[in-house]
C-alpha cells in the first residue's frame, strides 16, 4: 500500500491505497484497499504496542544478550518507542511508523505487517542493540465499507479499550529525552535544556527524576491503565520521586 493525499474544500486528507487503485479505479475494474491514514496508523500502533508488551516478546529480544548494560539499553529503547506509539496521531508517532513499517498485507479478516525496529534507532546509541530486530505481526481485524473506504476495527486483546493520556505519555517522553541529553557525551546543562524547551531549570530538574519511574507504572501509563488521579500535572509538580519502586507504587496507587 502507498500513502496518497487529496484536498477537498481546503482540507487535506491522507489515505493508504493499493497500487492497483492508484493506477486505475473501481469503475475500470481495479481492485484493492483504500484506507484512511489515521485509521490504519491507529490500528498499526495498537497492534505493535500489544506485541511489544507481551513478556515472551521482550524475552525474545534479550536472547543472546548477556551484558546487563546492553539489556538495560535495549529495554529502555523499546519503552521509548512504546511511549511514542501510544501518542497515536502525533507527529512523532506518524514519523516513527513511516520508519519502522516496511510492508503491510491485508486479508479479509487479518493484516500482517513487517516491522523493522532498528529503523527507529539509526544514528543513536541504541542502534547496535536493535538493528537486527525484525518482527512480523499478524492481528485480526473486522472490515466495514463506507463510501468506497474501509473502516478498520482491531479485534482481540490488542483492541481492548483503554484510556491512554497523551499528556502523561508526553511527560514521560520529555523526561527520557532530557535525561539522555543531561547524561550524554555532549554534557548538556540543565540551563541549556531549559532554554531549549522554553521552560525553567526547576521543571527540568523535576522532569529528570521521572526517567526512573518504576517499569510497571510506565507500562500502565502506556496502556492507558493508570489511576484516574495520576495526571501529567501531578507528575510535573512532584518535588521528589521516591527511589524505591514499591514506594512509588504506594504514592501513585
Residues 204 and 172 in one domain: yes
Q: Is residue 23 included in any domain, yes or no?
A: no
**Are residues 48 and 121 located together in one domain of the fold?**
yes
- Let me know whether 137 and 170 are in one domain: no
Last residue of a domain, one of 159, 187, 210: 159
pLDDT confidence of residue 196: 92
Q: Give the residue among 202, 199, 210, 203 at the shortest CA–CA distance from 177.
A: 210
- Range scoring the smallest mean pLDDT among 6-10, 43-47, 167-171: 6-10
Of the candidates 22, 17, 21, the residue with the CA atom closest to the CA atom of residue 35: 17
The reply to whether 116 and 202 lie within a common domain is no
| pLDDT grade for 248, boundaries at 50, 70 and 90 | very high
Q: What is the mean pLDDT of residues 148-152?
A: 59
The string of pLDDT tens digits covering residues 227-247 is: 877 888 889 999 999 999 999
In a domain, 14, yes or no: no
Q: Residue 41 and residue 154: Cα distance in Å, rounded?
A: 12
Could you tell me if residue 148 is inside a domain? no
One-character DSSP codes across 8-74 = ETTEEEEEEE-HHHHHS-GGGT----EEEHHHHHHHHHHHHHHHHTSHHHHHHHHTT---HHHHHHH
% of the chain with per-residue pLDDT over 90: 23
What letter would DSSP give residue 239?
A: S
* pLDDT tops 70 at residue 69: yes
Query: What is the percent of the chain where pLDDT is above 70?
Result: 81
**pLDDT band with cut points at 50, 70 and 90 for residue 186:** confident
Q: Three-class SS of residue 116?
A: strand
* Domain count across the chain: 2
**For residue 31, pLDDT beyond 80:** no
| Domain assignment of residue 214, yes or no | yes
**Are 138 and 173 in a shared domain?**
no
User: Does residue 8 sit within a domain?
Assistant: no
- Split at pLDDT 50, 70, 90, the class of 205 is very high
Q: Are residues 47 and 81 in the same domain?
A: yes
User: Would 106 be classed as within a structural domain?
Assistant: yes
With a cut of 80, say whether residue 76 has pLDDT above it. Answer: yes
Check the CA dihedral 229-84-215-207 and report its sign.
negative
Judge if 183 and 236 occupy the same domain.
Answer: yes
Q: Is residue 21 part of a domain?
A: no
CA distance 253 to 249: 6
Average pLDDT over residues 114-136: 72
Question: Which residues contact residue 67 at a Cβ distance below 8 angstroms, ignoring those fewer than 6 apart?
Answer: none
Q: Note whether 188 and 127 are same-domain residues.
A: no
Structural domain span for residue 180: 166-252
Under a CB-based contact definition with an 8 Å cutoff, are residues 48 and 36 in contact?
A: no
Together in a domain, 125 and 207 = no
At residue 29, the pLDDT reads 47
Condensed to tens digits (0 to 9), the pLDDT of residues 8-20 reads: 777 887 877 777 7
Amino acid at each position: 500500500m502507498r500513502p496518497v493525499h487529496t484536498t477537498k474544500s481546503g482540507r487535506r486528507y491522507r489515505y493508504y491505497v493499493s497500487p492497483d487503485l492508484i493506477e486505475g479505479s473501481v469503475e475500470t475494474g481495479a481492485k484493492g484497499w483504500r484506507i484512511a491514514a489515521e485509521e490504519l496508523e491507529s490500528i498499526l500502533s495498537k497492534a505493535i504496542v500489544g506485541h511489544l508488551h507481551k513478556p515472551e516478546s521482550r524475552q525474545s529480544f534479550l536472547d543472546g544478550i548477556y551484558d546487563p548494560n546492553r539489556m538495560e539499553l535495549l529495554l529502555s529503547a523499546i519503552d521509548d518507542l512504546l511511549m511514542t506509539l501510544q501518542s497515536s496521531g502525533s507527529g512523532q508517532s506518524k514519523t516513527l511508523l513511516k520508519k519502522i513499517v516496511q510492508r503491510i498485507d491485508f486479508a479479509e479478516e487479518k493484516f500482517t505487517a513487517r516491522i523493522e525496529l532498528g529503523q527507529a534507532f539509526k544514528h543513536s546509541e541504541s542502534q547496535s542493540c536493535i538493528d537486527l530486530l525484525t518482527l512480523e505481526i499478524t492481528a485480526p481485524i473486522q472490515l466495514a465499507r463506507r463510501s468506497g473506504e474501509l473502516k478498520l476495527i482491531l479485534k482481540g486483546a490488542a483492541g481492548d479499550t483503554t484510556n491512554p493520556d497523551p499528556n502523561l505519555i508526553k511527560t514521560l517522553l520529555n523526561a527520557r529525552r532530557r535525561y539522555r541529553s543531561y547524561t550524554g557525551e555532549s554534557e548538556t546543562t540543565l540551563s541549556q535544556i531549559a532554554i531549549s524547551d522554553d521552560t525553567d531549570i526547576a521543571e527540568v530538574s523535576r522532569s529528570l527524576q521521572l526517567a526512573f519511574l518504576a517499569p510497571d507504572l510506565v507500562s500502565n501509563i502506556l496502556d492507558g491503565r493508570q489511576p484516574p488521579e495520576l495526571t501529567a500535572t501531578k507528575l510535573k509538580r512532584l518535588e521528589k520521586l521516591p527511589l524505591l519502586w514499591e514506594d512509588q507504587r504506594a504514592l501513585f496507587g
